[in-house]
Structure 1
């Protein structure tokens, strides 16, 4: 138990309810970044969120965003294969340079190179796509550390709840979660 006020098995909702001051802008940012206009589809952005979370071994966020990415059309077989090897994973080849980039940014941020960014452009993406991929990567590095630092863990019950809640993707999905918690 990292923070006693959260209890022995806290959920992210417990963290948000206990420390609500920053929740609204955080969830608004989630909706803007993950649901707003972007060259990357909702499915691609959620895949990046799950991938970054998997790289960080954040089971809670990995599971939640895998569920959302699947609801957006990503095949469930992609996730484990992607963590094992980006190049052989069954994702569109144009997405692979982005995934290599966010892997480096997550595991060794100082080692991101201009050549990696150019590979993304060479695959047909523009600078907005690079920005959005980097922003999703950054957001989930932050969220993974918040979740892990607060002791939030996943379980079959948590996954079942996440599956039920994330079956429908909306433009205000994250803010709706905050409203459900009574955080406005």
Structure 2
């Protein structure tokens, strides 16, 4: 059974501006397929550019949080926001980056019962608060993160990733963007 990628129009790749076609070609070359979120967001080029510029600024850093920790935040907050696309897609990336076929499912369903370090638990506790109750964040939350060994820049990144993906989760859910079938098995077998 074929399902639409999104409830909104998905443009033909040839009709897109060259920079967006180049971005999509680059991700396709890297992953072996075009993630549906790229196609679904491409119908609004200015928003596509802004979305992926901020995504890449948060997720592609080589300093501070590890790339696996960044993906862990995405999977945990996306699970809380019940975003199937982001749980499945970023779960695949988390499995690969953490080299652990179990971690994404554990974190998505209930990070409190996942096989995590104390540092990771502190990180996800804060990410959850940003995702669900940001108005309640207080100095004690930042002190707990400092005690867990996070720098101020890392605390910013935890909050920014949780907040960005809160927006992303809502957008993806509103558009009913489906995860690519290819994501489901990535990182599950050694």
Q: How does the TM-score come out when normalised to structure 2?
A: 0.73
Question: Counterpart of 2:9 in 1: which secondary structure?
Answer: helix
Question: Counterpart of 2:101 in 1: which secondary structure?
Answer: coil
* 1:89 equivalent in structure 2: 114
Q: In the TM superposition, what is the alpha-carbon distance from 1:6 to its structure 2 partner?
A: 4.8
Question: Counterpart of 1:108 in 2: which secondary structure?
Answer: helix
* 1:124 equivalent in structure 2: 149
Match of 2:129 among 95, 104, 127: 104
* 2:181 equivalent in structure 1: 159
Match of 2:38 among 13, 37, 40: 13
When residues 84 and 22 of structure 1 are mapped into structure 2, their CA distance, relative to the original with a 3 A threshold, is: closer
The alignment's C-alpha RMSD in Å is: 2.5
- Distance in 2, matches of 1:79 and 1:19, equals 30
Give the aligned length.
159
Unaligned regions of 5+ residues in structure 1, if any? 168-184
* 1:28 equivalent in structure 2: 53
Match of 2:168 among 143, 154, 164: 143
Q: In the TM superposition, what is the alpha-carbon distance from 1:22 to its structure 2 partner?
A: 1.5
Q: In the TM superposition, what is the alpha-carbon distance from 1:42 to its structure 2 partner?
A: 0.5
Unaligned regions of 5+ residues in structure 2, if any? 12-35
When residues 84 and 145 of structure 1 are mapped into structure 2, their CA distance, relative to the original with a 3 A threshold, is: closer
Q: In the TM superposition, what is the alpha-carbon distance from 1:96 to its structure 2 partner?
A: 1.1
Q: In the TM superposition, what is the alpha-carbon distance from 1:62 to its structure 2 partner?
A: 0.8
- Confirm or deny: 8 A CA contact 1:97 1:120 kept in the other structure: yes
